[in-house]
Homo-oligomer: A and B are copies of this chain.
Amino acid sequence: MASLREFQNLMARIYLAKDSKRGPEGTYKWLKEEVDELGEAMRENDKEALEDEFADVIAWLASLANVLEVDLENVAFKKYNNCCPKCRSIPCQCQCKP
């Protein structure tokens, strides 16, 4: 088991120097591109490619969080604090977002 913070820190050690030079807008652009590639991998029905694209999306999300000084683990568990943040139920009982 490895924490989300460990992954974000690993991304900082590998990429923060380049990410900082590129800046938030350029890093966001790559995140969008990786999300598009994830969509393509879904259509191709290739599990290995799919897993690879999931890894890339979370890597670029962590890179963007590093550039913007956001702690992904902190914000994720703060909002999703053992229930749906809207209806406060588990499982979610919201009627929205079908």
Are B18 and A42 within 8 A (Cβ)?
A: no
A7-B76, A54-B65, A75-B51 as given contacts; A28 in contact with B38, CB under 8 Å: yes
In the complex the two chains form, what is the Cα distance from A23 to B34 in whole Å?
A: 20
> Considering the complex, which residues of chain A in the window 1-42 have a beta carbon less than 8 Å from any beta carbon of chain B?
1-7, 10-11, 13-18, 21-22, 24-25, 28, 30-32, 35, 38-39, 42
A5 touches which of B1, B13, B58, B80 (Cβ 8 Å) = B1
* Nearest B residue to A28, CB-CB: B39
| Measured CA separation A77–B68 after assembly (Å) | 22
Q: Besides the contacts A11-B80, A54-B61, what 13 more A-B pairs have beta carbons closer than 8 Å?
A: A1-B3, A1-B6, A2-B4, A2-B73, A4-B58, A14-B90, A16-B91, A17-B91, A18-B92, A25-B42, A31-B35, A54-B70, A55-B78
